[in-house]
Structure 1
Amino acid sequence: MKIPAIITGPILVCGVAHAQKGLHAGLKGAPQSTWMFNGDDSDNANWEYVPTFRSSFGANFAWFFSDAVGLGVDVIYSNQGQRYEFNEAELFTKTSYLKIPVLFHYHSGFDGTAFFYLNAGPQIAILSSATAETNLPIIGPVGLDASENYSALNIGAVLALGSGFHLSDFLQLTVGIRLDAGFTDAEDKSAPFFDTQPNRPSTYNVTGGLEIGVRYVLRTN
């Protein structure tokens, strides 16, 4: 028995579509460029910013209310900091944060093999550790715990966008750019370290990375 093309056509088209509504959960990581911007440091002729690269990794959870729109939260451990050169010496400020962004999710092109995604939203970053490492010409490497010099909480925002690929009906691979920036001072100016710098301006964390992730989709439709 032949089935009319008017019926089989829509069925074949629907067979290519990948419904997004439901729970999305996955893991992701990123090599990232990190910066700690401060006006005094930038204006100091004896200080030179050195490009700094570290990494982040974590998990993401999102609920999609439709095939295109969802709301989610990430839990990310982010290694950050800034390298400097000054007076023939090197300084590496290393910080680590537990980041928890709440993100709006948008997907388009979900009816094919690949799709575009965009995530954006506010973020809190909880300080996990901070160290200052320097390599002095004669003394050699020196490392100090600098946690008390940095704020326990940093408020910022996230923007991420890129491409996703359907590996199967329930598994996705995502590759994109993730940018985040802190809006509050990363340094704790009440720490004794800053007593001699009463007018030091705020320091702002900024990161940008190539984020790669794998997500499992538990669909409701």
Structure 2
Amino acid sequence: MSSVVHVVDDDPDVLKALARLLATDGFQVALSASTQEFLERYDPATTGCIVLDLSMPGMDGLELQAMLAERGAVHPVVFLTGRGDIASSVRAMKAGAIDFLTKPVDVDALLAAVNRGVRMNDEMRNRSHDREDARALFSTLTPRERELVPHLVTGRLNKQIAGDLGIAEKTIKVHRSRIMHKLHIRSLVDLVRFMERLEGSAPRADAAAARPEVRRAARG
């Protein structure tokens, strides 16, 4: 499915010009002459980004950006303005906008920002799906197995974990084996990667694998 670029601007000439430009670059374009019109047609399930005018009658671009953030929307926003000021641009960027462009907009700058926004949106959605898959697997663990995971991730040995929890070392071995099986992983490094997926953080498995305690635990 092609990405949808939402263009929200109260100037019909701007809407028409941006629609032609973005369509030529291969995007589906949804045009809205007001924030209200945008909200009526907006589908957060679609991929893409939002090109948003800063100053409009009624709810302005910054207010719409804040509303979308409150709703958990993940569409990156590219702001356009004919009379921007430093305070507005700073506020927009702090709230997560990926660019703040002035009219008449430079075509190359706009296309670069939109393409960057679409890539960001794809990456965020992929991480979200990956996190959901990890949560589904993690939910298959028993309460005791979940309790063990933080101990395993730190690279502690079975006998150390057994001492911490006051249970037999052979019981730890059984739980460790079951955890690995249920999470579809083979090593401690895989477990570190899995927990990063679960938490939605950027992979740091290479760094984790370099830690001495992880290497020792990975050997058994």
Counting strand residues as a fraction of each chain, which structure ranks higher?
1
> What's the TM-score once normalised by structure 1's chain length?
0.25
Higher relative contact order (CA 8 A, sep 6+): 1
Counting helix residues as a fraction of each chain, which structure ranks higher?
2
